[in-house]
Amino acid sequence: MVSSPFLLCPNVRVMGDTLRAPCAEPSLTGAQDPLRQWARVRPSHLALEHPSARRSLTYHELDLRASATAEVLSSRGVREGDRVALLARSRVELFELLFACVRLGAAFTPLNWRLAGRELAEIVTHCQPTALVFDQDSDPLAQTIMEALPSLPTLCLDPDRRGGSSDALEPLVDAQVEALEALTPKERASLASHQARPAESIAMILYTSGTTGRPKGVMLPHRQVLWNAINTVYACDLSPEDRALAFLPLFHTGGLNCLATPTLYRGGRVVLMDAFDPAVALDLIESREITAVVAVPAMYQALLDQGLDGRSLKALRTILCGGAPCPEGLLEAWMSRGFHFRQGFGMTEVGPNCFSLPPWRLEDKRGSVGQPVLHCEALIVDSGGRPLGPGEVGELWLGGPILSAGYLMNPDATSASYEGGWLKTGDLARYDEEGFFYVAGRKKEMFISGGENVYPAEIESLLLSAQFIKEASVIGVPDERWGEVGLAVVVLREGVEMTPEELRGWCRSRLAGFKTPKHIRLIDALPRNASGKPLKGQLKELL
């Protein structure tokens, strides 16, 4: 039998020795369209704002343009079950296209514009979209894709684009808006873009960052997007008066689904940035009275370096941090200024918002990602899939209505990661007697030194607690005597002079011998992917 302390974890159910898969929660009969609801209830309320582009859309305008975009796509052959790829920076048209896909029953598939043309061509060849929409900045990358798939229909977001065979989307949408405004409500209701879609139909396909291999297309059903929004609304207490600043890239779930889609679900406002710039971000947080942000630690450090003191940031109440462990010094710097700074954890495959640390537990649960959110289930298992008790490190499994539908056209990867209603995350974690979870690192990153398990995340946490260290990453490398030993890659803060030997001595006074990195390399900056995660594979290749 499973020991009773395991049942202290609130969102886990165990029956005897058998794990019961998370229940599906209340079933949905159709895809939810909060945009249409808010267009009725608060039509003049701002939904989107892009200050640098001098564009904004009310919920009425976004609703109308989403339907118009859906009609344009339908005229180009996009049907229910198809995929529509987008290669563009952050802009209001991204959300027009997203909701257009919702209304057609097509899967919105945003592409990482930071990839090389060859990499993008491989992804597009894999997902086989019915149409590709791109912006002028992405024109060279789009041309590479078109060369690989010459028959793929394409649309450009920018009307002033010169040359090429792609039609401009905006004039087509503008014309369709006029046509829709001329229809009666009854006529408009009969359009394909106004039909309900099954909750299990795929709303989005988001490609993983590829840190553990080739990018995989995660299929997010409407059900997942909806329940993630509900979880986020409850965890962050979102209201229609909230204003979320979006500076994470919107081709990743962190930028798109951590705050943007939940904010729109709740009827709030999403403020867009072209790209992350700490000076511009702070100006917008102040001038737009931003209430919620999500970012990676490196971005919060840049904001801190830019200068928080003397600014009017009193509206900012929800500060979510993910993508990498947060250094203790950075956490303290924000919290000492009165900000509710919360470390979180999530994945494209589930949520992404899976845990929440309430503000009143920030002090006594430092280092925790919190407890599972309302409609998320979590458990810790050993190598045989058996549940573990409080304090025991094992693999984290997640489930519930926020679970994705697997990987697009990749049954092997799906069967390897999904089992009985659970996602086997590949992350090592533990939980305490109160059900607060602590992430120990990736299962594949753990190494064994002299017969002892070593978790890189633990060592990284210690390194990042030092005021003289800006960035740090730890990997296991072969060793003739111990099997494997730690290699710490460290970025020192500006002006700090310290040798690897001195740094190793500092570690040795604070860590067990088998945990102390045998090798330390000092570099100028860690390689990171678009979502801000350190690329440990690249570190191994470089070092």
Split at pLDDT 50, 70, 90, the class of 8 is: very low
CA distances from 485 to 441, 455, 509 (A): 16, 11, 17
Domain final position from 163, 197, 231: 197
Say if residue 435 is exposed, middle or buried (CB neighbours under 10 Å; 0-12, 13-18, 19+): middle
Residue 249 in tokens: 């890239």
Structure tokens that stand for 224 in this block: 């997942």
Reported as a pLDDT band with limits 50, 70 and 90, residue 90 is very high
pLDDT of the residue at 213: 55
Nearest-angstrom CA–CA distance, 412 and 97: 31
The single-letter DSSP state of residue 407 is B
Task: Domain of residue 519: give its range.
Answer: 445-542
Instruction: Count the neighbouring beta carbons within 10 Å of the beta carbon of residue 129.
Output: 24
Q: How many C-beta atoms surround the C-beta of residue 33 within 10 A? A: 18
DSSP state of 193: G
Higher pLDDT residue, 5 or 148? Answer: 148
Supply 170's token pair. 């905006």
Q: In this structure, what DSSP letter does residue 6 have? A: G
How big is the chain by its Cα radius of gyration, in Å? 24
**Total domains in the fold of the chain:** 2
Strands of 437-468, DSSP E: 437-442, 447-449, 452-454
**Rounded CA gap, 179 and 64, in Å?**
11
**Confidence label for 190 from pLDDT (cuts 50, 70 and 90):** confident
Beta bridge partners of 201: none
Per DSSP, helices labelled H in 372-433 are 411-417
d(CA 110, CA 404): 17
- 24-76 pLDDT, tens digit per residue, is 444 443 445 799 999 999 999 999 999 999 999 999 999 999 999 999 999 99
CB 276 within 8 A of CB 250: no
Distance CA 169, CA 153 (A): 12
What average pLDDT does range 219-233 have in this prediction? 97
Nearest to 331 by CA among 229, 91, 340: 340
Judged against a pLDDT cut of 50, whether residue 216 lies above it is answered with yes
Domain with residue 182: its CATH number is 3.40.50.980
Decide if 394 contacts 382 (C-beta within 8 A).
yes
Residue 37 lies in a domain: no
pLDDT, average across residues 486-512: 92
Domain membership of residue 181 (yes or no) is: yes
d(CA 196, CA 102): 9
Any idea what the CATH number is for the domain that residue 519 is in? 3.30.300.30
pLDDT in tens, 335-386: 999 998 888 888 999 999 999 998 889 889 988 999 999 999 999 999 999 9
> Would you say residue 12 lies in a domain?
no
The domain boundary residue, chosen from 153, 179, 197: 197
Identify whether 367 is part of a domain: no
Q: What is the pLDDT of residue 514?
A: 85
In a domain, 178, yes or no: yes
pLDDT tens digits, 312-335: 999 999 999 987 777 778 888 999
Mean pLDDT of 111-126: 91
Q: What is the C-alpha separation between 150 and 89, in angstroms, rounded?
A: 23
Contact 312, 340 (CB under 8 A): no
Is 93 inside a domain boundary? yes
DSSP 3-state of 172: helix
Q: Which residue has the tokens 């040798």?
A: 499
Among 197, 229, 261, the domain-final residue is 197
Determine the average pLDDT of the residues in 205-214.
72
In a domain, 463, yes or no: yes
Please answer whether residues 254 and 531 qualify as being in contact, where contact means their C-beta atoms are separated by less than 8 angstroms. yes
β-strand partners of 397: 379, 424
CA distances from 57 to 50, 158, 269, 282, 362 (A): 9, 17, 10, 22, 36
Residue 502 is assigned to a structural domain of this protein: yes
Asked whether 74 and 170 are in contact (CB, 8 A), the reply is: no
Place of tokens 């002299």: 450
Please report the pLDDT score of residue 528 as a whole number. Answer: 79
